[in-house]
Amino acid sequence: MTAVSVQSGPSPAVQFGSGALRRVVRIGAIAGFVMVFISAIGMLKTFDKRLIVDPILSLGYATLFAIPGVAGYSFSKRVEIQGIETEPRSASDLINAGISGAIAGLILAAFALLVESAPGLRDTFPNFSPDLIDLIPLGFGTSLGFLIVPAIASFISIAAAATNWLPGRVRKAVITAIGALVALALFEAVVDDFFDWFKAIPRWLYGPTSGLTIQSSAVALTAAFGLSLWSSQRKQAKGERSDIGTKQRSRRSTIILVIVVGIAVVIMPQFLGGIINELFTNVGIFLLMALGLNIVIGYAGLLDLGYVAFFAVGAYVMGILTSALSPTWNPEMSWWAAFPAVLIVAVIAGVMVGTPVLRMRGDYLAIVTLGFGEIVRIVLISDWLSDYFGGAQGIRRIPGIPFAGQEINATSPELIINFVMAFVFIAAFISWRIEDSRIGRAWAAMREDEDVAEAVGVDTVKAKLLAFITGAVLASFAGALFAAKVDLRDVVLRADLDHRPGDRDRWGHGEHHRCRRWRLRADRDPRGAKAAGASPRVR
């Protein structure tokens, strides 16, 4: 006779022991108290002023009810470990998620009732206002709040837990679509500035006050979901292809990418708004600094924590040589004439920093270079040398870059971005060519083991000095461009509130004053904005 063993006990679908109950209560309580904390510190009230979907969803409610969603998602999430069988998902995961969401909602509703019944708490906690009492139960009152808030939190928690039953690429597409919707709503000013040349698009996307319309939200969700699915399928198909000719395809793709980026850098700034151009310009300047820092730390392995001092050297030398308000010496040179002097001073600064630290390594080198950076910062803004560097006020009235009969500065961000990206391409090309050169291999050997590199004949003294000098020169590029971009002589930040007879805003309201975008305007007073008593103002 064959013995048959039957496993006794509840099936996974109905398993709900004391340990699972404790976990549900614990996660629900944590989610509830986090929701209470967000409400108590004023985030709900402040974020509620910003709409995501007009008029049904605000950023405050999205932030508040995302918490039970995260809690519910954790119940059906399984971490796969090789060699260990994972517990299959079951209906109990959804039940647990729903209960934890309800617990979180009950805690939040109880908090609203406490705030309403104890108005004296407002003396200590000013955020416990009547508006908060109205926001938490969604305007239905604290009594109905004990039904509505737990129901919504439970539903969101169950929905988040159910996403783990979806295929991986579908789940990723859902998360991508939600993130794209929130980003599109939050960056309304950027989108409005981007489509300044075609106002019909932001007029259709956004409502009269703020936030996406219901129609544009549906289109954005569908488009982001479809693009994410298409991208996942394309990656999967690409991974299944043969690896024959991978190197040739990669090189061809790199060349095409460089050409496309180059064309975009030249053409796109003419169509982008001031906000995005200013953003890309700052990104380019810091990218230029990063390329120089990559040579010092990435290639040569020298932990230089005072690298930003070279950026200051480039900016201040350019300011002293070109500004008419330079404190002691003002030759008023053009930007192009002063640029070689900036490079020479940067080389000298690189030698001055590199020479004393030739025998230092690791933490000792980091501390010394950090001290050098702090010394440069303190000296430049100190009153002791204010007759040379302007002290805390700096150097003002720095001219821009003369080019093709016009001056390129902060008032023309669509042009200065071309100069910044041109220098970025030059720095990237220099870094790429140096990497496989003789000095690049010497830096790599020194980075791996300085003693071994010196033993095999690498001149570490020369290699270190060249690394500091090259990094200083690239940082001075960024500093010189920054000085021309800032142009503190007459720049006044204003809100461009254009209101002329017959003007209409993007929603068709003729008498609606609206801040379209922030611009840098020039006050052509030769004394400068500050000397003329100018201040940020609305025109």
Domain ranges of the chain: 20-77+89-237, 263-489
What pLDDT, on the 0 to 100 scale, is given for residue 253? 76
pLDDT at 515 over 50: no
What's the mean pLDDT in 401-422? 82
- Residue 112 has phi, psi (to 5 degrees) of -65, -40
Main-chain phi, psi angles of 522, to 5 degrees: -110, 130
DSSP state of 504: -
Q: Is the dihedral of CA 115, 117, 119, 124 positive or negative?
A: negative
Cβ atoms of 528 and 396 closer than 8 Å: yes
Q: With 70 as the cut, is the pLDDT of residue 501 above it? A: no
What is the mean pLDDT of the segment spanning 415-430? Answer: 87
With a pLDDT cut of 70, the percent of the chain lying above it is: 83
- Residue 53, classed as helix, strand or coil, is strand
Tokens of 359: 């025998």
Percent above pLDDT 90 for the chain: 43
Q: Has residue 528 got a pLDDT over 50?
A: no
Mean pLDDT along residues 313-321: 92
For 507, other C-beta atoms within 10 Å of its C-beta total: 14
Residues 195, 396: Cα–Cα separation, whole Å: 34
Alpha-carbon distances of 127 from 37, 49, 110, 122, rounded to whole Å: 11, 15, 16, 7
Mention every residue, 6+ apart, whose C-beta is less than 8 A from residue 337. 321
Return the biggest CA–CA distance within the chain.
108
SS3 of the chain: helix, strand, coil, percent, to 5: 65, 5, 30
Residue with tokens 């508040």: 64
User: What pLDDT shows up at residue 71?
Assistant: 95
pLDDT, position 12? 42
What's the pTM value of the predicted model, to 2 decimals? 0.67
Q: Which letter, b or e, does each residue of 484-495 get, where b requires 16 or more Cβ atoms within 10 Å of its Cβ?
A: bbbbbbbbbebe
HEC secondary structure over 79-142: CCECCECCCCCCHHHHHHHHHHHHHHHHHHHHHHHHHHHCHHHHHCCCCCCHHHHHHCCCCCHH
| More confident position, 24 or 362 | 24
Average confidence score pLDDT of the chain:
82
Residue 85's pLDDT band (boundaries 50, 70, 90)?
low
CA 426 to CA 433: how far, in whole Å?
11
256-290 pLDDT per residue, tens: 887 887 787 777 777 777 778 888 889 999 999 99
- pLDDT for the residue numbered 20: 84
For 169-191, give the secondary structure using H, E and C. HHHHHHHHHHHHHHHHHHCHHHH
* Average pLDDT, integer, range 343-352: 92
Banded model confidence at residue 504, pLDDT cuts 50, 70, 90: very low
**84 has which bridge partners?**
81
Structure tokens at 102: 């309800």
Please give the pLDDT value at position 69: 95
CA distance 118 to 128: 10
Give which of 260, 269, 207 is closest to 505, Cα–Cα.
207
**DSSP assignment of 152-164:** HHHHHHHHHHHGG
Task: Report the alpha-carbon distance of residue 180 to residue 217 in Å, rounded.
Answer: 10
Please report which confidence band the pLDDT of residue 494 belongs to, taking 50, 70 and 90 as the band edges.
very low
Sign of CA dihedral 328, 334, 339, 340: negative
pLDDT digits (tens, 9 = 90+) for 143-195: 999 999 999 999 999 999 999 999 989 999 999 999 999 999 999 988 888 88
CA-wise closest residue to 458 among 440, 446, 471: 446
Least confident of 11-20, 199-208, 221-230, 292-301: 11-20
Measured CA distances, 104 to 30, 152, 205, 426 (Å): 8, 10, 34, 56
The dihedral region occupied by 522, where left means phi > 0, alpha psi between -120 and 50, and beta the remainder, is beta
Residue 355 pLDDT level (bands cut at 50, 70, 90): confident
Using alpha carbons, select from 457, 471, 88, 465 the residue that is nearest to residue 311: 471
Q: Rounded mean pLDDT of 311-326? A: 90
pLDDT at 499: 38
pLDDT of amino acid 93 = 92
Structural contact between residues 481 and 418, judged by C-beta atoms closer than 8 angstroms: no
Model pLDDT, residue 17? 56
